[in-house]
Amino acid sequence: MELISDFLTAHSAWIGLGLLVGLITLFALEKFPPVIVSVASAAIMLVLGYLPCEDMEQVFANPAPIRV
């Protein structure tokens, strides 16, 4: 587990950039609904530690982002 943590820490900028490119690509291809892409990317960022739980709770406490 420490090996994975060290890898994520050492390459966090590249991983974040890859996630962003993948997100934009999935939005552009429109293969999946935007809601699925958004929630999946938020979940991946939450699991990898890019998005703190408190910030995610604040965003989804407001119903507007979910409706959009």
Mean pLDDT on 1-30: 90
Q: Reduced to 3 states, what is the DSSP secondary structure of residue 16? A: helix
Number of domains within the chain: 1
Rg of the chain in Å (alpha carbons): 14
Two tokens, residue 61? 């406490």
State residue 23's pLDDT score. 92
Whole-angstrom Cα distance, residue 29 to residue 43?
Answer: 20
Tell me, yes or no, if the pTM score tops 0.75: no
What domain range includes position 50?
2-67
State residue 31's pLDDT score. 93
Whole-angstrom Cα distance, residue 56 to residue 14?
Answer: 22
Mean pLDDT on 19-24: 93
Nearest-5° Cα angle at 65, 29 to 23: 25
Mean pLDDT on 51-66: 73
